[in-house]
Amino acid sequence: MWVFSIAHQHRLLLLWTRRLYNHASVSRVGSQFASHHVSASLLRPEDRGIEPVVKRRRRALDTSSVQHKPVVSDGWKKQERSDQRKTWKKEIPELQRPNQRREGDSRVSSELRRLSLDDFPAEREKMAGQRSTLHPREEHYEVVFGIAPCVLALTQGRRKARKLFVKDGEASDRASVLKVCEEAHRRGVQVQRVSKKDLDKMSSGRVHQGVCLQASPLGYLTEDRDSHTQNRGDPPIWLVLERVQDPMNLGAILRSAYFLGVDRVASSLRHSCPLSPVVSKASSGVMEVMGVYGYENLGGMLESKVARGWEVVGTVGADAEESTVPVTLCSDFRMTKPTVLLMGGEGEGLSQQLLSLCQTLLTVPAGRELCPGVESLNVSVASGILLHSLLSSRRSNRR
């Protein structure tokens, strides 16, 4: 064990504090506090002769008006740490990182925040971009996502486009993305590059393919007097949906109806999903092209169609109960006059009110013996099969 004299200990302390002082002058404020506590912890109660020297060193190192007195007890470490935390809270709330939120942030003035952003223009642009991208619905706009929906939303002119957001990086050089940007530029729509994280947030985590368009929403169309037009002399066919609530199903139905040549798609307004961007994406943009009509009272509309000579055709499952309305296989039905095809929603199918207005019920035959629980088809799949069957019969009658 080494034994040093008081004078020798004095010289060692001077050497230690000088080194710590030099280190603290080029370090952060926190290092200064640490050096002070290290030097204070080296003191012993019996070294009274060197206490004034340590006090002078401590005043040189201390950056606050808080005085720290050496505490000679078993709990001196807890006291030192408590004093240090109090001093940090009082002295350096401005040294927090910009993206770190603490309780002391409210004490920083707005002028100081503005000055700090002026010193970092890149950060200012980033914050401006976040304000414009992460709050798309503040002005009654919605976000259309996906290549086809964005292109058709721009070209069809049914929406008021506000801004196009494109994923930054190599993905923006794809031909499909460039086409969307060209259409936006041609129509004077601002194009802004953003991160994938921003696009994911705007599209609620759905597949956006690198583009999102901020535009006015689309709604159901209303009946008008000039809408009773026929298609090239053929008897028209309308697809009427009752209580279809799944946007993916509605989008798939619209895509099939447009592809196969349906003259109009109509829907009940009650208990039906809205024409949202999810429907547009599921329809591969068909919702931007083909208007969907909405009716408060489908029964009244169907009664007027029957009075004008239209045929109302409903749909039932293969295992449907006996009905007073004749049930026909879709492959045996021949479309000879204007026809309305009714499709019920998921689960319950057509309501009794609409079933009572049907003149014929169609069913899709199963190709095998079915297990219990899978006796029916998805409404979008059934719609595609029935529409193809009806429109094929219309073409055969033309020959």
Q: What secondary structure, in 3-state letters, does 90-147 show?
A: HHCHHHCCCCCCCHHHHHCCHHHHHHHHHHCHHHHHHHHHHHHHCCCCCCCCEEEECH
Amino acid at 359: Q
Based on the fold, state whether residues 229 and 209 are members of the same structural domain.
Answer: no
Based on the fold, state whether residues 238 and 191 are members of the same structural domain.
Answer: no
**Domain enclosing residue 351, as ranges:** 225-366+376-398
Based on the fold, state whether residues 380 and 244 are members of the same structural domain.
Answer: yes
What pLDDT score does 33 carry? 40
Q: Would 107 be classed as within a structural domain?
A: no
Query: Smallest Cα–Cα separation from 212: which of 250, 184, 251, 248?
Result: 184
What pLDDT score does 322 carry? 66
340 Cβ contact list (under 8 Å, min separation 6): 237, 238, 240, 302, 305, 310, 311, 312, 313
**Dihedral sign (CA 117, 118, 120, 123):** positive
**Dihedral sign (CA 177, 180, 184, 190):** negative
Q: Output the domain CATH number for residue 316.
A: 3.40.1280.10
What pLDDT score does 347 carry? 81
Token pair for 287: 């919702």
Q: Measured between alpha carbons, how far is 39 from 41 in angstroms, rounded to an integer?
A: 5
Q: Would 79 be classed as within a structural domain?
A: yes
Q: Measured between alpha carbons, how far is 135 from 132 in angstroms, rounded to an integer?
A: 6
Q: Would 113 be classed as within a structural domain?
A: no
pLDDT tens track of the chain, all 399 residues? 445 556 666 666 666 666 655 554 444 444 444 444 444 444 444 444 444 444 444 444 444 444 444 444 445 445 555 555 554 444 434 434 444 444 444 344 444 344 343 444 444 444 444 444 545 445 589 999 999 999 999 999 999 999 999 999 877 779 999 999 999 999 999 999 999 999 999 999 999 999 999 999 999 999 764 455 555 678 999 999 999 999 999 999 999 999 999 999 999 999 999 999 999 999 999 999 999 999 999 999 999 999 999 999 999 876 666 678 889 999 999 999 999 999 999 888 899 999 999 999 999 999 998 888 787 899 999 999 999 999 999 877 766
Q: Output the domain CATH number for residue 173.
A: 3.30.1330.30
CB neighbourhood size of 231 (10 A): 13
Based on the fold, state whether residues 206 and 331 are members of the same structural domain.
Answer: no
Q: Measured between alpha carbons, how far is 252 from 127 in angstroms, rounded to an integer?
A: 38
Q: Would 122 be classed as within a structural domain?
A: no
Q: Would 121 be classed as within a structural domain?
A: no
What pLDDT score does 48 carry? 44
Q: Would 114 be classed as within a structural domain?
A: no
Based on the fold, state whether residues 191 and 229 are members of the same structural domain.
Answer: no
Based on the fold, state whether residues 240 and 361 are members of the same structural domain.
Answer: yes
Q: Would 134 be classed as within a structural domain?
A: yes
